[in-house]
Amino acid sequence: MTTVIRTEGLVKRFGRTRALDGLDLDVEAGTVHGFLGPNGAGKSTTIRILLGLARATEGTARIFDDEPWGWASALHRRIAYVPGDVSLWPNLTGGEAVDFFARLRGGTVDRAAYTERRARLMQEFQFDPRVKGRAYSKGNRQKVALIAAFATPADLYVLDEPTSGLDPLMEQVFRREVDRVRADGATVLLSSHILSEVEQLCDRVSIIRAGRTVESGSLGELRHLTRTSVSFATNGLDPAAISALPGAHDVAVDEARVRFTVDSDAVAALLPELGRLGVQGLTVEPPSLEELFLRHYGDELAATGAEEAPRA
């Protein structure tokens, strides 16, 4: 597999603050790569460097084996970009803006094909192209960028929180479009903090925190690092027998159910033991992305909670 995006030790300083602090990111061709992190973690800064809009203070960034700052406009022939907060020209309509971006990206060379793609996207996104930019709502401005991105084929789609402001129906349309371009062999970098979206769409995920990559891999690989939750009906089972189950952590027993967590790679060893106990109403839940995410940020939540407490 070839690598489409590779950054090594990316550092970006704004005055004294370090927005990026040695960020590493690898995105393989043909994959949808989730780029996760809370606000301010450095997702948008990374994307701006990848697009050649900002220059890294240190480290290297390469897209299609080219350096984005120097080769921005050549690279952009192969890239579609959707920002998280779209601004439009107040006196141009949404339809004009879509056409303008398509022309800049050379997407209108095949007029008939472009017109067909544009019409299909406008219908699916239920978009009114005749309204002036200043009159669109947040969600409609977002649609302009999404339609412009998907109306011209690209090799790489850089999507920075693309669904902010969209309703759930439109999110569905968006997911279909991502699936479509993946099927066509394109690569997608999807920055998001909507975890269900990432879980559903992404092949691989990088989690960043304070300008660094803290976790990277397929969802399966990441899940190995955390615990699976297990629960079953109490049914008068002997508490001692439950405590003796191999690999069980944080056991909690109440009148109705027994709950505990187990290391994800120890689940197979546990199942025969559960069978011997004859448990009923068994549920085994793999860790959600949310749990993965909270594992990395949980301490930060606790820390900010502690900081804010005296003020309140």
Q: Considering the rule CB under 8 A, would residue 117 count as an interface residue with other proteins?
A: no
- Give the C-alpha separation, 219 to 211, whole Å: 21
Look at the block and give the residue holding tokens 């967590």. 261
Q: Considering the rule CB under 8 A, would residue 129 count as an interface residue with other proteins?
A: yes
**Residues 58 to 87: which contact other proteins by CB under 8 A?**
72-74, 76-77, 79, 81, 83, 85-87
Nearer to other proteins, 72 or 242 (CB): 72
Number of residues that bind other proteins (CB under 8 A): 43
Tally of CB atoms within 10 A around 129: 17
Q: Considering the rule CB under 8 A, would residue 39 count as an interface residue with other proteins?
A: no
Q: Considering the rule CB under 8 A, would residue 249 count as an interface residue with other proteins?
A: no
Is the Cα dihedral 185, 35, 173, 63 positive or negative?
Answer: negative
* C-alpha distances in Å from residue 284, one per residue of 98, 236, 246, 268: 47, 20, 15, 11
Q: Within 13 Å and on the Cβ side, how many CA atoms surround 71?
A: 14
Nearer to other proteins, 104 or 253 (CB): 104
Quick one: 16 exposed, middle or buried, by C-beta within 10 A (0-12, 13-18, 19+)? exposed
Nearer to other proteins, 80 or 202 (CB): 80
- Give the C-alpha separation, 34 to 198, whole Å: 6
Nearer to other proteins, 39 or 87 (CB): 87
Q: What is the smallest separation between the CB atom of 270 and other proteins, expressed in angstroms? A: 50
Nearer to other proteins, 37 or 83 (CB): 83
Residue ranges in contact with other proteins by CB under 8 A: 44, 48, 51-55, 72-74, 76-77, 79, 81, 83, 85-93, 95-101, 103-106, 129-132, 134-135, 145, 158
